[in-house]
Amino acid sequence: MDAFFASVEVLDEPGLRGLPVLVGGTSGRGVVSAASYEARVFGCRSAMPMGQALRLCPQAVVRPVRFDRYREVSRRVFAVFERYTPVVEGLSIDEAFLDLTGSERLLGDAVGVARRIKADVAGETGCTCSVGVSYCKFLAKLASDLDKPDGLTVFTREDVETRLPKMPVTKIWGVGPKAAGRLAGYGVHTIGDLRRADAGFLLTRIGADTARLIELAHGRDERVVSTDRDAKSIGNENTFFDTLATRDAVLHELLEETEHVAHRLRRAGLVCRTVTVKIRTADFKTVTRSRTLEAATDVTATMWEAARECFGGWANGAFAPVRLIGVQLKDLGLVGAMQLSLFDDPSQRKQARVDGATDRIRDKFGKDAIKRLGP
């Protein structure tokens, strides 16, 4: 999606169209979550301190982060994707890989499908997206960033030999400014330079990541698009631009995330045995707590009880303001293929019926149509 959070703000407040818009926190530790393309002209970008962004663009309009609204639009976007292929791997709230392998006979060529997806997303959400089409994940991701906003870029095998070598090495997934600086010290500035570099020399200086970088530099990426059903875990986490200062505020967010991942688990036809909670405090210390269940489950109440116990095990002795909270479901298996409880528990049957009803309501009317009362 193109400047997704900012685009949703403009969608909801049309008077902002054409103005530089920043989304994020405005406190002393506030960070830019999204910058409209009008704001980017002034050098504003996501993850930049809000104070710095406003010095670059004093006339920018600042709006607070509204995760619930962005999730609502995101679900509509992903619903479009899933009409074209069941093989959708969400990278974040506003980005995904789609595998169209085998769908050409039914849907036509991939470029035509990309155009239809773009049109459907714009027509059904009012927001634009940029699409990259290629034969592997690395190149599709790279292509999606080449013609923003509202772009559609195809990267062919011929492009791997003609266009890719000329690109800066930072176009390779995982090569940030620090890694690029190290590579520059060895004379590697472009992807072509990386291809020509001596692999043995780089291995002694960069380490085990050398092989991955060289493979990507040649346009080789064997990773498959992985759906929830294929995944080893299902998780969700949120970073807050203003830290959550109370236990109740953190528990409220944790409950929403647990409901979200539980819904995804059931949609994939899976059950889990382990619930893990991830916590990052304002001073960037990260802790994780896990609980293994007595039996595999897909019942939200059971997973929520485990998540709350994990959180309590940390918070009871060391609570501090939280900047990130997440929940992850692990040890997954297909419903019916894992050992469930040996005892027929009426309360579990009741909770399963509740989950089924709430899933149907959310699928039809959106996540915010029904919620649990609270932690």
- For the chain, what is the mean pLDDT? 89
Domain(s) of CATH 3.40.1170.60: residues in the chain: 4-65
Which residue would you say has higher pLDDT here, 154 or 178? 154
Domain(s) of CATH 3.30.70.270: residues in the chain: 68-155
* Amino acid identity at 193: D
Domain(s) of CATH 1.10.150.20: residues in the chain: 159-217
Share of the chain above pLDDT 90, in %: 60
CA–CA distances in Å: residue 83 to residues 80, 87, 91, 107, 117 = 5, 10, 18, 11, 9
pLDDT at 363: 65
Would you identify the CATH topology of the domain 4-65?
MutS, DNA mismatch repair protein, domain I (3.40.1170)
Looking at the domain covering 234-368, what would its CATH class be?
A: alpha beta
Distance CA(37)–CA(149), nearest Å, equals 8
What's the rounded mean pLDDT across residues 188-197?
Answer: 95
Tokens of 29: 């530790």
pLDDT at 375: 65
- Inform me whether the pLDDT recorded for 28 exceeds 80: no
Distance CA(196)–CA(362), nearest Å, equals 53
Helix then strand count (H, E) for the chain reads 15, 12
Residue-wise pLDDT for 203-249, tens only, equals 888 777 788 899 999 999 988 888 866 778 889 888 876 788 999 99
- Other Cβ atoms closer than 10 A to 226: 15
Classify domain 68-155 by CATH number.
Answer: 3.30.70.270
- Other Cβ atoms closer than 10 A to 199: 12
Closest CA to 237 of 285, 277, 282: 277
Residue-wise pLDDT for 268-326, tens only, equals 788 999 999 999 998 888 999 999 998 899 999 999 999 999 999 999 988 999 989 99
Domain(s) of CATH 3.30.1490.100: residues in the chain: 234-368
Give the active site residues.
95
Distance CA(1)–CA(8), nearest Å, equals 10
Classify domain 159-217 by CATH number.
Answer: 1.10.150.20
Least confident stretch, 60-74, 122-136, 334-348:
334-348
pLDDT at 339: 47
- Inform me whether the pLDDT recorded for 48 exceeds 70: yes
Distance CA(33)–CA(38), nearest Å, equals 15
148 CB-side CA count, 13 A = 17
Say which residue the tokens 């709350």 belong to.
308
pLDDT at 60: 97
Residue-wise pLDDT for 169-178, tens only, equals 999 987 888 8
Which residue would you say has higher pLDDT here, 325 or 105? 325
Least confident stretch, 16-30, 185-199, 228-242, 257-271:
228-242
pLDDT at 334: 76
Closest CA to 322 of 252, 234, 235: 252
